[in-house]
Structure 1
């Protein structure tokens, strides 16, 4: 499938398909709020521009917003930008957030104890102006080094029972973490770093989530090795070649490949750029052939 900006403007998030997060229906192309608070060089974002991007995302059919209270800069808070742009919230809008990490006013990181998770949940509720959170992911510090998550996840399960949280997920986890969490309460999503070039064990984990009916929500799907700094400067030859064939950007091709990995895969690309938003949403309509998918997996 090939399209230019004129036709991509007519594509909406509905063209990406949908998935159930518990009893909540979301389109497979969502929006990540991490990049709303500041530009790549660390300078403040333009408040009116990024709130406009959020509103435009919803106009384009996006109904899955991923955010967190620890997404903030010296002058901007992602949660409060979401609140300002989108409240009162549409009935079908699903807002997902994360707890576990915290930052003090200077930006220094800390990690919550099980007893501190309620405070983090309540801070998200306050900033977003909500009486409950649709989905809360427990983010673990270091995937390879983190031991049992039972105590932390159990604390969130109690908040779910109390009605502060509707559904639970886990982030930056291993398969054994997921199994441990599922023994405590239902898990609707796994949010892990993933994209072209991920190791075999991450491909297997993604597939296993699909077999269990659990959404897999990749972060850094576009950025890849660039991670928080953004997309790598040079994409591989195969990515560049196939992007040219389809008349799309390498970032769009990366998103399309990610979504091709299974109907349970949800993308949450973030941007403060209105043009990039349209391109990201349009990537949800791009269909790659089996041969192209195989070439990218081998790259």
Structure 2
């Protein structure tokens, strides 16, 4: 299993970096749209759709919705304040607050959505659509002035999330004693959680010095900590839905890693939350 995980990582990391730095905003948006369609395909299991044809149609519907949104905004990358973009990011904040409550009160909270396919589909849209616009908005950051500025920001969020996750794992292994959310994800501990936030703070400082991001360190730190918190919530939320669906992995697309959602669950929360705070709340545009 470890061998497959390493091979997949060595293959995927260069592809992700190449997509970030080599594709123009529209090309990057299309690639992100395909990733979101694959995520929607896997979310079908969480929504109770077990047949392949139903999940295919769910993926197609997701792609159609995102494509319509994208094509109605031909100049979307010039203005973060366009209603569809800004609205999606604001909705994301509300959704992840609601998701926090669902996780905190699980399994009791599952009584609200357990028997409703429609509600679980809405949860999927609230997860995937803002993730799409968060990715697109960050990639388009000052694109007219510097084609790589947005790529650096997105790379930062990915490093932040992966670093915080690694820090949480190491701190949890070394010091973990108290369970963070035993009814959702028994392996996570409070010590690991705090270690992950500490790692995120270190990454925020180091990346700010190295990359010269032209953002106040205090603003970057606040956005980074909230993004790290959101990444943990994204992971826990997917674990909650997988537990309710009775599955271990969201899919088998990536050898050794599971499905697309298993790889981007933290990013689905961290990216739109970070983008919303940085671009809309603090107005760093």
| TM-score computed with the length of structure 1 as normaliser | 0.26
More strand by share: 1
More helix by share: 2
